[in-house]
Amino acid sequence: MIQVDGLRIRIGQTEIVHGVSFAVAQGAAFGLVGESGSGKSTILRALAGLNPDWTGRMAIDGTPMTRRRDRAVLRRVQMVFQDPYGSLHPRQTVDRALSEPLTVHGIGDHDTRILRGLDEVALPKTVRFRYPHQLSGGQRQRVAIARALMTSPEVLLLNEPTSALDVSVQAEVLNLLTALQRGRGLTTVLVSHNLAVVAHLCPNIGVMQGGELVEMVSAADLRLGDIHHPHTIALRALSVSLPG
């Protein structure tokens, strides 16, 4: 579903990503881990069409992506950002946030779609006309997920979707993402620095360091410690679990 070959991305004068290749099958979930500055979010933003300064090849479902995206491509690829406090407009109601993608893509029947969207992320109908500040962090992230799903995308890009949330809320959002991914057959790319979160959601994981993909591992091998690159080993060692 997603093919990335020799992707190089620049921000200004600096090359951030130095030739990264990976592929994600239809309906699969792929994780990218690495420390900040390793280029994982930059790849996600380029996939979403938020940074046109790239070379190499990116294709969705066999269709090569161009520097400028037309609306049909953008509709198929949607993104959820890290901080639900920052990614929702503070002066727009949930209703407005959810209807905007519909308006942009010329999709009608707002009423039914918004209600269905809220229902899908397990939010009560009553939040529809609330503002973001009237919602909890977990509810806000649910709104952001619902917004990404409004255009019925095939690819969902998740950038640290739970790192701003409490662990109890994180569990609920992760369960929601698992259910949505299975239910809708969404192809997902998840970026996170939390190895346990990535391994929970993604069977296949790419480890990034300094703008390069240094190792590809399966979640199972990661759990067992069957990994080879020193950076992967270091990241795994840091993923603290409880003593005793």
Partner 1 sequence: MLVDIANLHVAFPTPSGPAMAVRGVSLRLGQEKLGIVGESGSGKSLTARAVLKLLPGQASVTADRLSFDGIDVLTASESTMRKIRGRRAGLVLQDPKYSLNPIMTAGDQVAEAWRAHKGGSRKQARAAAVDLLAQVLIRNPADVANQYPHELSGGMGQRVMIAIMLAPDPELLIADEPTSALDATVQAEILRLIDDLVARRGMGLLLISHDLPLVGHFCDRVAVMYAGRIVEEVGAGELARARHPYTQGLLRCMPSLAHPQATLPTLVRDPSWAA
Binding site for partner 1 (CB under 8 A): 35-37, 137, 166-172, 174-175, 178, 193-197, 199-200, 219, 222-223, 234-236, 238-244
Shortest approach of partner 1 to residue 174 CB, angstroms? Answer: 6
Which two structure tokens, joined as six digits, stand for 16? 């951030």
Shortest approach of partner 1 to residue 224 CB, angstroms? Answer: 10
Shortest approach of partner 1 to residue 179 CB, angstroms? Answer: 9
Which two structure tokens, joined as six digits, stand for 174? 């992760």
Shortest approach of partner 1 to residue 48 CB, angstroms? Answer: 22
Contact 29, 188 (CB under 8 A): yes
Which residue's CB is nearer to partner 1, number 87 or number 170? 170
Shortest approach of partner 1 to residue 220 CB, angstroms? Answer: 8
What's the Rg (C-alpha) of the chain? 18
Which residue's CB is nearer to partner 1, number 101 or number 138? 138
Neighbouring CB atoms inside 10 A of 13's CB total 5
Which residue's CB is nearer to partner 1, number 148 or number 195? 195
Phi and psi, residue 38, nearest 5° = -80, -10
Neighbouring CB atoms inside 10 A of 187's CB total 24
Which residue's CB is nearer to partner 1, number 14 or number 241? 241
H/E run at residue 154? none
CA-CA distances (angstroms) from residue 229 to 101, 118, 220, 222, 235?
41, 42, 16, 11, 10
3-class secondary-structure state, position 81 = coil
- Which residues does 163 contact at the CB level (< 8 Å), separation at least 6? 82, 192, 193, 194
Which residue's CB is nearer to partner 1, number 92 or number 218? 218
Shortest approach of partner 1 to residue 201 CB, angstroms? Answer: 8
Which residue's CB is nearer to partner 1, number 76 or number 140? 140
CA-CA distances (angstroms) from residue 224 to 140, 170, 233?
35, 24, 11
